[in-house]
Structure 1
Amino acid sequence: MTVTLADVAARAQVSPATVSRVLNGNYPVAASTRERVLRAVDELDYVLNGPASSLAAATSDLVGILVNDIADPFFGILAGAAQSEIGGQEGTGRAGGEKLAVVCNTGGSPDRELTYLTLLQRQRAAAVVITGGAVEDPEHSAAMTGKLAKLAAAGTRVVLCGRPRLAGTEESVAAALAFDNRGGGQRLTEHLLTLGHRRIGYIAGPAGRSTTRHRLEGHRAAMDAAGLGDEVDGLTVHGPYERRTGYDATLELLRREPGLTAVVAANDTGALGACAALRDRGLSIPGDVSVAGFDDLPFSADAVPALTTVRLPLYEAGARAGRLAMGREDPPPGGIATVRADLMVRGSTARARPE
Structure 2
Amino acid sequence: MAVTLADVAARAGVSAATVSRVLSGNYPVAGATRSRVLRAVEELEYVVNGPASSLAAATSDLVGVLVNDIADPFFGIMASAVQSEMEPEKAGGKLAVVCNTGGSPERELTYLMLLQRQRAAAVVLTGSAVEDPGHAEALAARLRRLAAAGTRVVLCGRPPLPEAGGDGGQGGGKGAAGAGPGGTGAPLTVAFDNRGGARRLTEHLLALGHRRIGYVAGPAERTTTRHRLEGHRAALADHDRDHGRDLLTEADRLTVHGAYDRSSGYDGALELLRREPGLTAVLAANDTVALGVCAALREAGLSIPGDVSVAGFDDLPFSADASPSLTTVRIPLHEAGARAGRLALGRESAPPGDVATVRTELMVRASTAAPRTD
- Per the TM superposition, whether the score is higher than 0.5 is yes
Q: CA deviation at 1:196?
A: 0.7
AA of the residue aligned to 1:83: Q
The partner residue of 1:305 within 294, 319, 324 is: 324
Match of 1:128 in 2: 123
Q: CA deviation at 1:146?
A: 1.8
The partner residue of 1:249 within 251, 265, 268 is: 268
Matches of 1:271 and 1:157 in 2, distance apart?
36
Matches of 1:267 and 1:73 in 2, distance apart?
11
Match of 1:221 in 2: 234
Match of 2:219 in 1: 206
TM-score normalized with structure 2 length: 0.84
Matches within 5 A, 1:163-174: 163-169=158-164, 170=174, 171-174=184-187
CA offsets, 1:37-89, max 9 Å, x none?
74543223346799998654411111111111111100000000001102344
CA offsets, 1:270-296, max 9 Å, x none?
000000000111110000000000000
SS in 2 for 1:168: helix
Match of 2:358 in 1: 339
Matches of 1:70 and 1:26 in 2, distance apart?
32
Which stretch shows the higher mean deviation, 302-311 or 42-51? 42-51
Preserved CA contact (<8 Å) 2:64 2:120: yes
Q: 1:27 to 1:297 in 2, by over 3 A?
A: farther
SS in 2 for 1:226: helix
| Residue 199 (structure 2) pairs with residue 186 (structure 1) | yes
Matches of 2:154 and 2:163 in 1, distance apart?
15
SS in 2 for 1:250: helix
Preserved CA contact (<8 Å) 2:22 2:29: no
Matches of 1:260 and 1:64 in 2, distance apart?
44
| Residue 298 (structure 2) pairs with residue 279 (structure 1) | yes
Match of 2:134 in 1: 139
AA of the residue aligned to 2:76: G
Preserved CA contact (<8 Å) 2:23 2:117: no
Q: 1:121 to 1:182 in 2, by over 3 A?
A: same
CA offsets, 1:246-277, max 9 Å, x none?
00000000000000000000100000000000
Matches of 1:55 and 1:191 in 2, distance apart?
56
Q: 1:347 to 1:24 in 2, by over 3 A?
A: farther
Matches of 1:310 and 1:2 in 2, distance apart?
51
Q: 1:162 to 1:116 in 2, by over 3 A?
A: same
Match of 1:93 in 2: none
Q: 1:199 to 1:50 in 2, by over 3 A?
A: closer
Q: Unpaired segments of 5 or more residues in structure 2?
A: 165-173, 175-183, 241-246
Q: Unpaired segments of 5 or more residues in structure 1?
A: 91-95
SS in 2 for 1:253: helix
SS in 2 for 1:234: coil
Q: 1:179 to 1:45 in 2, by over 3 A?
A: same
TM-score normalized with structure 1 length: 0.88
Preserved CA contact (<8 Å) 1:296 1:310: yes
Match of 1:67 in 2: 67
Preserved CA contact (<8 Å) 2:66 2:125: yes
The partner residue of 2:146 within 144, 151, 164 is: 151
| Residue 256 (structure 2) pairs with residue 237 (structure 1) | yes
Aligned residue-pair number: 343
Match of 1:101 in 2: 96
Preserved CA contact (<8 Å) 1:285 1:291: yes
Matches of 1:35 and 1:76 in 2, distance apart?
32
Matches of 2:346 and 2:87 in 1, distance apart?
13
| Residue 282 (structure 2) pairs with residue 269 (structure 1) | no
Which stretch shows the higher mean deviation, 46-55 or 324-333? 46-55
SS in 1 for 2:83: helix
Matches of 2:106 and 2:191 in 1, distance apart?
23
SS in 2 for 1:288: coil
SS in 2 for 1:74: helix
AA of the residue aligned to 2:192: F
Matches of 1:29 and 1:260 in 2, distance apart?
57
Q: Percent same amino acid among aligned pairs?
A: 70
Q: 1:40 to 1:234 in 2, by over 3 A?
A: farther
SS in 1 for 2:253: helix
Which stretch shows the higher mean deviation, 302-311 or 216-225? 216-225
How well do the aligned residues superpose, as a CA RMSD in angstroms? 2.7
Matches of 2:317 and 2:37 in 1, distance apart?
41
Which stretch shows the higher mean deviation, 173-182 or 339-348? 173-182
